[in-house]
Amino acid sequence: MSQISRRSILAVSATMLLSACVSSRAPKLTGNTSDETGAALAMVNKLRSDRGLAPLSPNTNARQAATGQAVRMAKADKMSHLIGLGDSFLSRMKSHSVPLPAAENIASGQNEVERAVQAWIDSPKHLENMLGNYRGLGVAVARDMASGNRPYWAMVLSS
């Protein structure tokens, strides 16, 4: 292989690697990822209504941010708000044009949206997020096919 060919391959490989690391746009939905905003919204709005709070509405940007986070966790096989060097909640929200302030709830292992939302209700900090002064909601689940189909959940609440 010539020197030019090797350099070209290395340059293309490096560009692809860097773009994969830098991009935080939500990947397209696949067979192992689903938008659960509608089902979660009904439960969250019931909770908010019972407490005299205004309902939330589906927010496309929050849904995209939730999908991106769920996919990232599934690919890493790790439940975490921050994955990888330089990861930042604020940067992810800005890259998806999520209206700020915003909040994120994550969960793992629940096979149904009802169980994920209930886990967040049972957690004081997550419950505080769902009862916060937000207007938009996005919820997604991604499954880690490599390690037994484990579900990773993300909820993004936006202003």
Q: What is the pLDDT of residues 76-122, one digit of tens each?
A: 887 677 777 777 888 889 989 998 999 999 999 999 999 999 999 99
Span 1-34, pLDDT tens digits: 444 443 333 333 333 323 333 333 333 444 488 8
Confidence tier at 72 by pLDDT (50, 70, 90): confident
Residue 108, strand partner residues: 152
Q: Which residues of 34-64 are buried (b: 16+ CB within 10 A; e: fewer)?
A: bbbbebbbebbbebbeeeebeebeebebbbb
Whether pLDDT at 148 is above 80: no
Which positions ≥6 away from 104 have C-beta within 8 Å? 65, 66, 69, 81, 89, 129, 154, 155, 156, 157
Query: CA 5 to CA 33: how far, in whole Å?
Result: 38
Query: How many residues are recorded in the chain?
Result: 159
Mean pLDDT score of the chain = 81
3-state secondary structure of 113: helix
Model-level pTM?
A: 0.77
Spatial contact of 152 and 36, defined as CB atoms under 8 Å apart: no
